[in-house]
Structure 1
Amino acid sequence: MTALAAASTFPKTNVEALDGSTITLGAPRGDYDWQLVVVYRGLHCPICKTYLSKLQEVEAAFNEQGVDVVAVSGDPKEKAQKMADEKNLDITIGYGLTPAQMKTLGVYISDPRSPEETDRPFAEPAMFVVNGDGKIQIIDVSNAPFARPELDGVAGGIKFIRSNDYPIRGTHSS
């Protein structure tokens, strides 16, 4: 795993989307100039189901700030579609994130505990806000399903950042 840092250039990464398109993570689509990339563990994760439902609820708050919203996992298309169907999601969902792509994004990768959980290594949760310059404005990478940013707060934070020309924080390494 290569950790990404605040203010670094987000590595543009192509994945397939459930709508049949190819999404480039780190490249906002349409009229948006920023992008929120939410990496989720997969269909096997009940916390992800709740988080993606909340993401759908607050998507408009991100869009109002000029932020394109994308969720992505290493699940194959069938599992990603089942997630969308089960939770009635219409947010953009990418699938098939490979272990090599996960490493490029600097996310933690876990092996399944059993075949019932899933059948492949999967990414642990992460969130990246990529600004109009392609730089990581906000980053949160977790090694466990229990620690994730509160989405309403992130949407409000982006509003503050954009309204006040607030700089990228945390640019010095520890």
Structure 2
Amino acid sequence: MSLKSRVTVPNLDLPLAGGGRFNLAEQKPAAFTMLVVYRGLHCPICKGYLNDLNRKMDDFEQAGVIAVAATSDNAERAEKAKLGWKLDRLPLAYDMPIDIGREWGLSVSKAIADAEPEVFLEPGLFLVDPGRKLYAASVQTMPFARPNFAEVLQAVQYVVKNGYPARGEA
């Protein structure tokens, strides 16, 4: 199943590494909430990707974007990622249920290495408007070929400045 633009996305209410919760329905972004789903602690590509986003948090905030990363990893693995990867700005949600990931159109993989969980969600990036409708999405079936955060930021700035509508709803 995949989500369509301009359609309300499923709500997410997940615990955050370090305490607290992320509830999508409670977010009040000026432009978008950006949900970045990552594979988990076992993924070195995820580490670099989320570190890039962590460095750009001020830029995204200035563009009106609330960013959060989410994973199907458990609390222990999410805490290790947050601390070990030095994600001091980026909120890290965990325990995203596999069935909810499927509702979001994410791929699910089975472990092929000891370091991997038995099953886990593959990456996705979602821009959700303030009304909780999908604006844009990029979903991968493996760790490669993810959207570049500098380009995503540039696109968000263009969209906000020009009132560019969501596409892909037909």
TM-score > 0.5 by shorter chain = yes
Q: Is the CA contact 2:73–2:117 (under 8 Å) kept in the aligned structure 1?
A: no
Segments of 4+ moved more than 4 angstroms = none
Deviation at residue 117 of structure 1 after TM alignment? 2.5
Deviates more, 1:13-22 or 1:69-78: 13-22
User: Which amino acid in the other structure matches residue 151 of structure 2?
Assistant: G
Going from structure 1 to structure 2, the CA distance change for 1:113 and 1:26 (only over 3 Å counts) comes to farther
Q: Secondary structure of the residue that 1:140 maps to in structure 2?
A: strand
Count residues with an aligned counterpart: 169
User: Which amino acid in the other structure matches residue 81 of structure 1?
Assistant: E
Q: Is the CA contact 1:11–1:104 (under 8 Å) kept in the aligned structure 2?
A: yes
Aligned pairs for 1:68-79 (under 5 A) are 68-79=66-77
Instruction: Give CA-to-partner distance per residue, 1:75-133, whole Å, 9 cap, x none.
Output: 1111111111111112100011111111121100001103x232321110000000122
Q: Distance in 2 between matches of 1:63 and 1:120?
A: 35
Which structure 1 segments of 5+ residues have no match?
none
Q: Is the CA contact 1:18–1:80 (under 8 Å) kept in the aligned structure 2?
A: yes
Q: Which of the numbers 144, 155, 158 marks the counterpart of 1:157? A: 155
Q: Distance in 2 between matches of 1:109 and 1:166?
A: 32
Q: Percent identity?
A: 31
User: Which amino acid in the other structure matches residue 103 of structure 2?
Assistant: T
Q: Which of the numbers 64, 67, 77 marks the counterpart of 2:65? A: 67
Which residue of 1 is the match for residue 8 of structure 2?
A: 9
Q: Distance in 1 between matches of 2:48 and 2:54?
A: 10
Which structure 2 segments of 5+ residues have no match?
none
Which residue of 1 is the match for residue 20 of structure 2?
A: 21
Which residue of 2 is the match for residue 122 of structure 1?
A: 120
TM-score using structure 2 length: 0.93
Instruction: Give CA-to-partner distance per residue, 1:17-43, whole Å, 9 cap, x none.
Output: 0132121136425x6552000000000
Q: Is the CA contact 2:13–2:23 (under 8 Å) kept in the aligned structure 1?
A: yes
Which residue of 1 is the match for residue 131 of structure 2?
A: 133
User: Which amino acid in the other structure matches residue 11 of structure 1?
Assistant: P
Q: Distance in 1 between matches of 2:6 and 2:112?
A: 35
